[in-house]
Structure 1
Amino acid sequence: MKKWLALLFGLFTYVVGIGIYFTNRLMFMRKKEDEFVRNREITAKRVNETEFHKLPKTKVMVASPFGYDLDCYFIHPYNTKKWVIFCHGITENKWNSIKYMNLFIERGFNSIIYDHRRHGGSGGRTSSYGYYEKWDLDAVIKELKKREGEDVKFGIHGESMGAVTAILYGGTIDDAASFYIVDCPFSDFTEQLKYRIKQEIKIPSWLVLPIGKYFLKMRDGYWMKDVSPQSVISNIQKPVLFIHSEKDDFILANMTKALFEKKTRDKKLFLAVNGAHAQSFNENRKEYEEAIDDFLETFSL
């Protein structure tokens, strides 16, 4: 009997230990400090802080449906209905969005940059890789429509988790954007986790994921399968520009290629030659801008 009790206790300890460790890694992934991101972008000359502060802008705290505020800047140098909303990646903040914002301001668009939940100046306790973030994006869009009218035209640009957020918004909530630019998204959360477990922990994913998925549901309220861009991308009828660095070894470029194949029409694909994860713009700026210009021109955006 004692052996059985010891075995059961050991199994219980293993399950709980794996479940908590795994979900802590996901829910509370260590973020970059706001000042680090700001200084990095300024030092790399991707952000000119003086020019940014000169832009006409309104700071807006948008209420999330989950009870916290989202720290946003509505940047409006033009009297136009054309806007782009920028969604940054996990561990980043809105300072990382400014380089993309500048591209679209140069092309005559107003812009919104904001911090995702648990990042920057926004509230929220956990990161959910697009699951809750898509509803926060919806709240930002509703605020834009409230301010600019229901006839406002907007695109969404997302990087990494922000790209997943954009796809999940368009594929499950409302395909309301005029266009989407999705830079280095994963195609399926479960498959991405299997790959990262193999790379980082080097144990079979079947020892972790069956436990982790239940703990994630218990602790943060959603299933891994609910974060699957490949399952909803075909619902998006508006044009999508897919971007990925061929050398990305954090989220493999094959995931974006798979999403591109599942989108049946009105699509473009730009595979950057240089750069690691989320570095397509930083390492291929000329080609990145050319891909955007070709996309906007092709679909008259």
Structure 2
Amino acid sequence: MHLCHQKKSFLSGGESRIVKDGKAWLKTVHKETWTEKAAGADLKLVADYVPAAKPTNKTVVVAHGYMNTKEFMAPQIKMFHDAGFNVLAPDDRGHGQSQGNYIGYGWPDRLDYLKWINQIIKKQGQQSQIALYGVSMGGATVMYLSGEKLPSQVKSIVEDCGYTSIIDELTYQAKAMFNLPKWPLIPSVALTATIKAGYNVFDASAITALHKNTRPILFIHGSKDKFVPTSMVYQNYRAATKSKKALWVVKGAGHAKSFPDHQQAYSKRVVGWFNANW
């Protein structure tokens, strides 16, 4: 797991059939290119906006995972499009078409997503209804975002396999993948993030954000997740004390595999959650 700096590249190879098919579909569907300026940084961010086949005020904002792009979320974009929703899928800082040389693991990005939300409202009006959806780093991003002062148009959230905090995830990965101790690795990462990317990794806690969240939130996690350990979802779930909430631990699923392995059940749960909370 890369700790901070990234070139403008992302993981390649080994794409699943569902992602390949989704990307092919995304190339053919009508979509618009939206842009936004990053919060607190002079960076141009880019998103795909896929309008529903029939006009609607319901829009799902989709947050992708680490070293992925909006195109990797094409299967989920199609899922929401098929359900009759508009979809906005940004590339995070340092990913895809968006500018930036450093990855913030969702923390600075949460404020970028707030700007995307406000752009939806500006373009579609005060009657807009918005839902948030994220996978892996994107799951952490929407949880971080849940602790901000959100517009009333944001109705509900689904997070899939997001981590409890940047520190927790980096500590876990350092131990699991490289057998490295937490100290002095984490202080050096924190210093690099502060100097190079302009944020404090110790501030980035989904637990703290979820304590503030008031939006209905569905937590999803695979029972066999070895990248973001399944134990984290229980901590996140317990932290959401002020909101309607639900938890689905998908038996046998690995990291970010709940949707590919159980497409029909997943779609029913996620789309059903959004429809129940508009």
Partner of 1:224: 201
Partner of 2:89: 113
Partner of 2:119: 143
Partner of 1:10: none
Structure 1 vs Structure 2: percent identity of aligned residues?
A: 23
Secondary structure in structure 2 of the residue aligned to 1:71: strand
How far 1:184 sits from its partner (Å)? 0.5
Structure 1 counterpart of 2:68, from 61, 81, 92 = 92
Partner of 1:74: 49
How far 1:252 sits from its partner (Å)? 0.7
Q: Which range moves more in the overlay, 73-82 or 177-186?
A: 73-82
1:34-62 deviation digits (Å, cap 9, x = unpaired): 8x47x93567554162x434433211222
Partner of 1:288: 266
Amino acid at match of 1:219: K
Q: Which whole-Å CA distance do the structure 2 matches of 1:113 and 1:175 have between them? A: 19
Q: TM-score, normalised by structure 2?
A: 0.89
Q: Which whole-Å CA distance do the structure 2 matches of 1:293 and 1:286 have between them? A: 10
Instruction: Name the count of aligned residue pairs.
Output: 274
CA contact (8 A) 1:41 1:47 kept: no
Check if 1:181 corresponds to 2:155: no
Q: Which whole-Å CA distance do the structure 1 matches of 2:10 and 2:187 have between them? A: 33
CA contact (8 A) 1:169 1:175 kept: no
Secondary structure in structure 2 of the residue aligned to 1:259: helix
Unaligned runs of 5+ in 2: none
Amino acid at match of 1:73: D
1:113-156 deviation digits (Å, cap 9, x = unpaired): 12111111111121011121112111211221121112211101
Q: TM-score, normalised by structure 1?
A: 0.83
Partner of 1:153: 129
Partner of 2:192: 215
Q: Which range moves more in the overlay, 211-220 or 145-154?
A: 211-220
1:50-97 deviation digits (Å, cap 9, x = unpaired): x43443321122222311211211111331110001010011001111
Secondary structure in structure 1 of the residue aligned to 2:168: helix
